[in-house]
Structure 1
Amino acid sequence: MGSGGSKKPKPPAQPKMVAGVPPQPPYLGPPCEYRMENFLVPYVVQSDFGFMPVQGMPLTTIDLNVYNMALGSLYDLGYRLVSFSVIPASLTVSGFVTANVKQTHKYQGICRKLPEDEQPQQWSLKVVKSFLPSKVFTYGLFRLGDAKITADSNHIFQTILQEAANGARLVCIEITGFNSQNVQAPMATSAAAGAFGGAGAMNMCFFGQSPNMILGVDIFLEIPRNPTSARYVYQCVTIPMKITWTMAMAMGGKWIVEMDWVGVTSQYLGSGWRMVDLFMDQNNSAFRDNAFFTSKITINQNCIFFFEKEESKMNDNTPIYEATMVQYNSPGKMTGGIGTTTATFNTAWEPVVNQLGTFGWELVKILDTPALNFDGMAGFGSLSFKKVMWMFYQRKIVTAAAPPAGEKPPPAAATPQQ
């Protein structure tokens, strides 16, 4: 009788890599398990073109407590909110003299499952309303020339300080509401103030300055369910983001986005701070430089990094976290017709977030940059494009324990070549 050879056990399957995620070395810490909650909300905006600033923009309103309650209930299931975003899912502009704008916005909360070392501390979600006054100064048709936006973030900062003094911890900040001219700031603190993504607010005027505008802001915080003496302090660091768009005749356009995020994260994470959020405060300026056969627009945008540290550990500079950034190109399509233009956005970043989570990376912020790269024709009368977004992550620094005396350490894992 012949003897059959014994079968070798199959090696464990490696996680399938997602396109757009750079190769990751092995990580000894726990993975991040995510859960995404989506809310699609329609809006309608009407405005008149003219040589004067916009006089009124009626907006569809919603009860913003819809997503607050849904996200808060996940805390009872062992999740914590890490990021909240408002993203245009579709945009349709029609009309000539009167612009009718229909939008669908995607409200998305991204939560992570609590790891074992955080289970003892119970938290609840709290959302505080704030506001961001802003004004647009423009000197060209629809911002095609030089333009400047000024905004005052003082109320946001003061609100965070007051809440932190009572034991709350900052989670994230998001612009969720929009009001037009001559609206008093306190009105932006109510749910009926309207909701319109601040990054897409239409401040259209031919020359001069726009009316005073109030952007409604939601500040997401966590409060302990059990009394605790722990208090947290925050550092706000403003870093300029420089966006350059250059277009040469018959050669298309090219976007370049620059920001020294490595320098600021290395400085603060390297001294024991934790990165909490990044916030575009709407302060920016744009300049056009026209030359023979070439046109260049430069945008300088303020980006605020928020860092956190427990007050009792202010003198402890031991690094706890490391950071990384992954560029993600969100697909979209633009379709034009007679008097109508429609753009649809498909963020579809969930596989990328989940893939990086398997290597312990905790999402901090998905930053929507102005960069937009067109791929080409997607059919008759339509163009496909990629919206450039920056994903910021952090994870705890984990080092391998030293082997016992006389025992050789295992060989290092091979890292794929770039």
Structure 2
Amino acid sequence: MGNSSSSSGQVLAPPGQQIQAPQNPQEPPYYGPNALYQFINTQVTMTTPINFTTTQMVTSNVDAYYPVLAQQMDQGFRLLTFYHIPGEVTRSGGLFSQSVNMPFQAIFCRYPQAPYQERYQLRVEKSVIQPQMIWTGIISSQSQVHTDTSHLFQTIANNTQNGGRLVCIELTGQEVMKTSFSMQRRMPMKGVDLFFEFPMSGRGENYIYNIVNAPIHVSYSGGLRPTPVVQCDWLGILAQNLGQGYRLVEIFMDETETTQQGFLTATCQQNSQWFFEKPASRAHDPTPMYQGTVVPHEIKISQSGLNGVRSTTNWEAVMQDMGNRGWELACILETPEIRYSGMATVYQKCLLFFQRPLYP
């Protein structure tokens, strides 16, 4: 990705600080341990409606997929992310119907060369976010979606005050509600699975979290297949926070957005929430502890048969190659940027965020 480094943080970036086509990062020798990756693919079943607070949710069956994850952690691996493979859903009767199966990939890593590695226990907590839509405008139509994430934040606070650490956040369900329409209406709640790790030794310390809200600007113009133009200061946000001694944990799209429709044009601003952490004992110490880099990657999504979709990620080799140089995956972020290939295939751009400890 180039050999330049941001002065405000330890970020290896392409020349000109722009994320270009995939290429191998050219970087100085790294003297830390290599990361060994493990990839586990599994189908997650959406259960029949369950009661959550005062609503009914169709959501993931944690009891069904948890043993698959726990088995790898018993072997000394740490979970990095539990990721829904975009595009693929096996269903009949709606996205979150009782018969829905959604493919996920669990990505783990461990460090065989490290002299000591803490073992962790995984905990999965259910939470919700609440979007609300507002429509305005006459000639041009503007819509706004505001999302209440207070329950999600409280769930994180409850699980990190006694040694727990946030691993990742995944949308895994939706509220069952009757269809209605008004100029200002509550949209269905979205179910969220939050993953936490707890050290089995009991010697873990508390971590503090810095949440950065960053807008992602998307513009569309002309044609039956307009190509989105996406703008966000990915590298700048990463550099600024790594430069303050934090490490990146997750980037979560909270569904807050503003959309402006015009004649053959549209613009959209989506909100991303970046979760950074550092030990509470270093709360006032801004010394950088990690360096980071971002690798662009494309996911192939193809129509398969009459009602099926096939997604191909092919990022396993990319991640292991990065792991051979000590890079640990922080998170995967799907972007709105796509390109078309024929009538039945699109390529969606995603960003793979990596980081590794700084060594002298």
Task: Give the TM-score category using the shorter length.
Answer: 0.7 to 0.9
2:353 is aligned with 1:392 = yes
* TM-score (norm: length of structure 2): 0.80
Q: Is the 8 A contact 1:180 1:211 kept in 2?
A: no
2:218 is aligned with 1:243 = yes
1:297 maps to what in 2? 266
2:144 maps to what in 1? 148
1:279 maps to what in 2? 252
2:37 maps to what in 1? 34
**Counterpart of 1:213 in 2: which secondary structure?**
coil
1:196 maps to what in 2? none
CA distance in 1, matches of 2:34, 2:239: 23
Q: Deviations over 1:37-69 (max 9, x none)?
A: 111246799xxxxxxxxxxxx997652222222
CA distance in 2, matches of 1:205, 1:345: 33
> How many Å apart are 1:332 and its aligned residue?
1.7
**Residue ranges of structure 1 left out of the alignment (5+ in a row):** 1-18, 46-57, 183-203, 378-382, 400-418
CA distance in 1, matches of 2:125, 2:57: 22
1:75 maps to what in 2? 73
1:267-416 map, 5 Å = 267-290=240-263, 295-334=264-303, 342-377=308-343, 383-399=344-360
> How many Å apart are 1:163 and its aligned residue?
1.5
Q: Is the 8 A contact 1:132 1:214 kept in 2?
A: yes
Question: Once superposed, what is the RMSD of the aligned Cα atoms?
Answer: 3.3
CA distance in 2, matches of 1:229, 1:356: 27
Q: Is the 8 A contact 2:83 2:105 kept in 1?
A: yes
**Residue ranges of structure 2 left out of the alignment (5+ in a row):** 1-20, 49-55
**Counterpart of 1:307 in 2: which secondary structure?**
strand
**Counterpart of 1:301 in 2: which secondary structure?**
strand
Identity rate, percent: 32
> How many Å apart are 1:248 and its aligned residue?
4.3
* TM-score (norm: length of structure 1): 0.70
CA distance in 1, matches of 2:152, 2:92: 35
Q: Is the 8 A contact 1:375 1:385 kept in 2?
A: yes
CA distance in 1, matches of 2:239, 2:96: 46
CA distance in 2, matches of 1:99, 1:72: 28
Aligned residue pairs, count? 329
1:33-72 map, 5 Å = 33-41=36-44, 63-72=61-70
Highest Rg: 1 or 2?
Answer: 1
Amino acid at match of 1:350: E
CA distance in 2, matches of 1:147, 1:241: 16
**Counterpart of 1:90 in 2: which secondary structure?**
coil
Amino acid at match of 1:151: T
CA distance in 2, matches of 1:209, 1:282: 16
- Which of 9, 22, 25 aligns to 2:24? It is 22
CA distance in 1, matches of 2:313, 2:25: 22
Q: Is the 8 A contact 1:81 1:109 kept in 2?
A: yes
1:117-156 map, 5 Å = 117=114, 119-137=116-134, 146-156=142-152
> How many Å apart are 1:219 and its aligned residue?
1.1
CA distance in 2, matches of 1:160, 1:178: 20
Q: Is the 8 A contact 1:180 1:212 kept in 2?
A: no
1:216 maps to what in 2? 191
> How many Å apart are 1:256 and its aligned residue?
1.6
Q: Is the 8 A contact 1:128 1:219 kept in 2?
A: yes
